[in-house]
Amino acid sequence: MLLTEMAPPPGAQELAGLRARARSARRGALVALTASIALLTTAQLLADRAATREQTLPLAVLSLAVFAAALPAMAITQYVWGSRARRVREREHELYAAVFSGRARPLARLAVAGCWAVTLLLGWTVPRLFGQAAQYGLADALSAATDAMAWASIGAGALFLLWWARDAALTVTRALRAGGSPGDPWDPGRSARRREGAMLWTGAAVAIAALLGARAHLWEPATGIVYGLLTTALVCGVVTDE
């Protein structure tokens, strides 16, 4: 009898459900992350290109609103993703005495931390937009708030790097001890899902990188191209990744 025709061991169906919930949480976290960076970058690009103070002000307000909404959205969705992924690993260990998922966790966490850094850097430029819109009092107040946030972020980043280095070392040690498991045979279609998801997220990442390059003045795309890149990032992340 082929392995795929055998009945799954006890708990495998429950584990499949846990994995599906973890994938859903992962998708939600990545959607929140990509949408936040893409929208914030686009709003700031358009604000920089505004010809008058009256045109700059609504885009500055939009940038502030996106930044204020992005931080809790990213934090909540990533917490849910992490808690569900941890439950999957715990159940895998209970059933198989091995963990098949989470081996790329250190790299994923480092990438997410980098996206947090990009989001914060974009948010810290919002006061300058209000200065360009001649809202000097609000710009000064926001500058004071971002200065305090910057120091808190530096401290949190240092703690994260220490914790990440420890977690990465433990992950590598466990992988070497396991001798390279071929993976869980009771999760059919896993490779296909990874290929499809990787293509979509790569498209979103390329579009966001292009927007960030424009925000850093590495190139000067037309406004229509900016809207096209924003649409690509949102479509790849929100609409097509099922």
Identify the pLDDT of residue 172: 75
Identify the pLDDT of residue 195: 62
Identify the pLDDT of residue 1: 45
* Residue 21, burial from CB neighbour count under 10 angstroms (0-12, 13-18, 19+): middle
For residues 221 and 228, give the distance between their C-alpha atoms in angstroms, rounded to a whole number.
10
Q: What is the pLDDT along the chain (242 residues), one digit of tens a residue?
A: 445 555 666 677 888 889 889 989 999 999 999 999 999 999 999 999 998 889 999 999 999 999 999 999 999 999 999 999 999 888 887 877 777 766 678 888 899 999 999 999 999 999 999 999 989 999 999 999 988 888 898 999 899 999 888 888 877 777 666 554 445 555 555 555 566 667 888 889 999 999 999 999 999 999 999 999 999 999 988 775 54
DSSP class of 51: S
Q: What are the domain boundaries of the chain? A: 10-189
* Residue 170, burial from CB neighbour count under 10 angstroms (0-12, 13-18, 19+): exposed
Q: Are 236 and 201 in contact (CB under 8 A)?
A: yes
DSSP class of 142: H
Phi, psi (rounded to 5 degrees) for 57: -60, -50
The number of beta carbons lying within 10 Å of the beta carbon of residue 5 is: 6
> What tokens were used for 130?
């209000």
Please give the single-letter amino acid code of residue 230.
L
Q: pTM (2 decimals)?
A: 0.86
Distance of CA 188 to the CA centre of its chain: 26
